Amino acid sequence: MVKGLKKTVALVGMMGAGKTAVGKAIALSLDVPFLDSDAEIERAADRSIAEIFERDGERFFRSKESQVITRLLEDEQCILSTGGGAFMTAENRDFIAAKGVAVWLKADLDILWQRVRHKSTRPLLQTDNPFETLKELVEVREPIYAKAGIVVDAEPALSIEQMAQKVIAALVAHGGIVKDET
Ligand SMILES: Nc1ncnc2c1ncn2[C@@H]1O[C@H](COP(=O)(O)OP(=O)(O)OP(=O)(O)O)[C@@H](O)[C@H]1O
Ligand SMILES: O=C(O)C1=C[C@@H](O)[C@@H](O)[C@H](O)C1
Ligand SMILES: [Mg+2]
């Protein structure tokens, strides 16, 4: 049985990659806490991400995001799902590497688009051509996500639970992250 964590696992990757959905399933399976930086920011501000972007702007959101990630990485080991843009900031990447390990859930543009196209909760995609915006974000961000210590490919055929088990297998293969690897 694989249970417990020696260090916090920060899931990084694009909107729709499954950081939140798969992160919850990983935490349940490992019997560790699950935290989501987007949800923590919304809770602290008592407003949705869309409202925060609209009223206070992206800069304000990014500064809250860094604060929340710093705080959560100081707490008990957990599965930490980050927002899609969090890993773009060097300070966030350095802090994640110092306190835990980053896992990039790597999903291709088609999968991402299928998952985000009907949702209006992602302010960065409120453009005239959201598919093109998503494509541009993927192109700019992929080389930076690639700095994560572990990369797990999201195959379209895999369910949330199957993806969770694939990530856990990658954590075990890496060594030094999960507690009981027997
Ligand atoms: N492996 C999967 N199989 C089927 N559906 C999935 C899978 N992974 C995620 N989904 C679905 O895709 C949608 C987006 O996933 P999720 O919210 O977890 O993405 P995210 O990476 O947290 O995005 P964001 O950066 O915007 O928070 C959700 O509806 C989720 O249920
Ligand atoms: O990719 C991004 O920059 C974002 C992703 C979401 O998780 C939220 O953090 C927000 O919508 C910004
Ligand atoms: Mg999420």
pTM given for the model: 0.97
Could you list the residues known to form a binding site for Mg(2+), using ranges: 20
Residues with CB under 6 A from ligand 1: 13, 15-22, 38, 81, 83-84, 115, 122, 158-160, 163
Homologous superfamily of 3-180? P-loop containing nucleotide triphosphate hydrolases (3.40.50.300)
**Interface predicted TM-score (ipTM):** 0.97
- Give pLDDT, residue 181: 63
Neighbours of 96 (CB within 10 A): 26
For residue 14, how far is its CA from the centre of ligand 2 (angstroms)? 8
Residue 40 CA to residue 59 CA, distance in Å, equals 17
- Give pLDDT, residue 36: 98
Mean pLDDT, consecutive 10-residue stretches, the chain (182 aa), reads 92 97 98 97 96 96 97 96 98 97 98 91 92 98 97 95 98 93 62
Query: Whose CA is closest to 153, among 103, 118, 85, 102?
Result: 103
Task: Please give the backbone phi and psi of residue 108, each rounded to the nearest 5 degrees, phi first.
Answer: -80, 170
User: Which residue lies with its CA nearest to atom 3 of ligand 2?
Assistant: 85
Whose tokens are 């954590």? That residue is: 171
- Give pLDDT, residue 121: 83
